[in-house]
Structure 1
Amino acid sequence: MKVSIITSCFNRERTIRGCIESVLGQDYPDIEYIVVDGASTDNSLAVIKEYEDRITHIVSEPDRGMYEAINKGIRMATGDIIGLVHSDDFLYSPNTISHIVERMCQTGADFLYGDGLFVTPGDTDKVVRNWIGGDYRLWKVRHGWLPLHPTCYIRREAIAKRGLYNETYKIAADSDFLFRYLLGGDLTVTYLHEYIVRMRMGGLSTDAAKRRQMWMEDIRMYRSHGMNPTVTKLEKMMWKVPQFLLAKFK
């Protein structure tokens, strides 16, 4: 079973090497690796090209943001399963993909998610949030719960049915994507109780203007799914509380 992994990148010369090496260091033999760079102006592309003999496809051209880049990668993907490893992140262990494939083969699931760790940018061993996904329940999704996006691995046939990321969202496209896949209750979903990814803290949510944009996009996104936007937004925030508490014990 082939797994397509997509990394989108823009000006991430400090982190892209670790991301790439975490994918290339997997013990699973059948990985199609696609790196989509948004015409970086730093040294990112030079770092990426150091690995060009081991990366299946490298694209470097201007785009309108991360979700357009991810959609480009999905359209190129030929794997049975598709997953993402963002340029600031890295897979948890060398056998992460092997365990994902084993679980999806055992269960026949369309959609798999797992656990993840948020770590500080300068010290990737210091855990800030410990995201334990927990078992999938449709009622949880209807009350704002979603799995951690970079832990999600989905069969390509399911993506063909449900569609790509909505590029009109600059921040909330991942949440919209997951709600579209999980609210219907007709996909087979499985939870792998293992860490799949380490994610560096930072990014869009740390900037005040972007936080406001995030709030507005979330409201629009919840309404589009027939949910009460304010209540669901608050419920989403409540689901995150245990992650910070669990981080103290990691």
Structure 2
Amino acid sequence: MDDNTLLTQPKISVITATFNAAGCLPALIESLQNQTDKDFEWVIADGGSTDETLALLEGINDLNIKITSQPDFGIYDALNRGIKVSSGDYYITAGADDLFYNTAIASFREAVLDKPNADIISANTQIGDVLVKPKGKVWLYGMKACIAAHSIGTLISKKLHRQIGFYSHSYPIAADELFILTATKHKCIFHYIDTVTGFHSVTGVSSTNVIGSLLESFRVKLQVGENKYLQLPLLFIKLLKNIRKY
């Protein structure tokens, strides 16, 4: 690769919000160390951990890592901070208990080079035992009509935040959905790559607090202009379906 080619390479940041995550971070760390494309930075937005999280991260010497640690108001407040201190043109979020497959960064970089005008690049994600792909219509599937998962499976251009703002503090579970659906309303350019970029844990709040997630998703759809007379019966059906599981 010559110097001219290097100059055109997009800068990619991985952003992770952590809080007392020492027990689950090793798998994510190993997955980043094993990337075939190692030209990325890893930004940690820590919420003031009191366990061994910071010591574990500060001991890493084979990744381009940037650590910030201070009290915050939850995951999206931390992600906003991470985005602001990151140096990448694009970023991927990764939960502390998620992990990337080895070619994830390489696949996203190739997609950016192939579609340089894309604002959001989505890939497939393994969520628990299920391989998830973007599907269907926004009115029915919300964010999942556009992306498989916000964490691990989506590369986002940082310039979008200058256009539509950062993650909202009003949605502690679904701020990512509000951001993605707002992007669709602004006619941002989405590009899909049919590859699996990683494993998304099912221990996060969006997976464990299903009722809360459904209610916030409903509020998000109303905020972006979806028809409330359609969304109300859909919400009732989804709530009934999930309540029966308990």
Alignment of 1:37-76 (within 5 A): 37-51=46-60, 54-76=63-85
Instruction: Look up the match of 1:182.
Output: 184
Distance 2:220 2:142 in 1: 14
- Code of the residue aligned with 1:98 in structure 2: it is A
Give 3-state SS (helix, strand or coil) of 1:103's partner.
Answer: helix
Instruction: Look up the match of 1:195.
Output: 196
- Code of the residue aligned with 2:201 in structure 1: it is R
Out of 225-234 and 51-60, give the one that drifted further.
225-234
Post-superposition offset of 1:203: 2.6
Give 3-state SS (helix, strand or coil) of 1:197's partner.
Answer: strand
Instruction: Look up the match of 1:111.
Output: 120
- Code of the residue aligned with 1:222 in structure 2: it is K
Instruction: Look up the match of 1:243.
Output: none
- Code of the residue aligned with 2:25 in structure 1: it is I
Give 3-state SS (helix, strand or coil) of 1:193's partner.
Answer: strand
What root-mean-square deviation, in Å, do the aligned CA atoms of Structure 1 and Structure 2 show?
A: 2.4
Q: Is the 8 A contact 1:220 1:229 kept in 2?
A: no
- Count, aligned residues: 222
Distance 1:11 1:69 in 2: 14
Post-superposition offset of 1:22: 1.5
Post-superposition offset of 1:164: 0.9
Deviations 1:201-250 (A, max 9, x none): 1232455xx44433332232222111135744738x98xxxxxxxxxxxx
Post-superposition offset of 1:118: 1.6
Instruction: Look up the match of 1:98.
Output: 106
- Code of the residue aligned with 1:159 in structure 2: it is H
Instruction: Look up the match of 2:97.
Output: 88
Distance 2:168 2:162 in 1: 14
Distance 1:105 1:70 in 2: 25
Instruction: Look up the match of 2:36.
Output: 27
Q: 1:154 aligns with which of 149, 153, 156?
A: 156
In the superposition, the TM-score normalised over structure 1's length comes to 0.80
- Code of the residue aligned with 2:133 in structure 1: it is I
- Code of the residue aligned with 1:191 in structure 2: it is Y
Q: Is the 8 A contact 2:33 2:62 kept in 1?
A: no
Unmatched segments (≥5 aa) in structure 2: 1-9, 239-246
Mapped pair 1:6 → 2:15: yes
- Code of the residue aligned with 1:130 in structure 2: it is L
Q: Is the 8 A contact 1:22 1:91 kept in 2?
A: yes
Distance 2:228 2:78 in 1: 28
Post-superposition offset of 1:133: 2.3
Structure 2 CA distance for partners of 1:23 and 1:160, relative to 1, 3 Å: farther
Instruction: Look up the match of 1:227.
Output: 226
Q: Is the 8 A contact 2:142 2:181 kept in 1?
A: no
Unmatched segments (≥5 aa) in structure 1: 120-126, 239-250
Distance 1:206 1:158 in 2: 26
Q: Is the 8 A contact 2:142 2:217 kept in 1?
A: no
Distance 1:27 1:144 in 2: 33
Q: Is the 8 A contact 2:15 2:44 kept in 1?
A: yes
Distance 1:153 1:23 in 2: 15
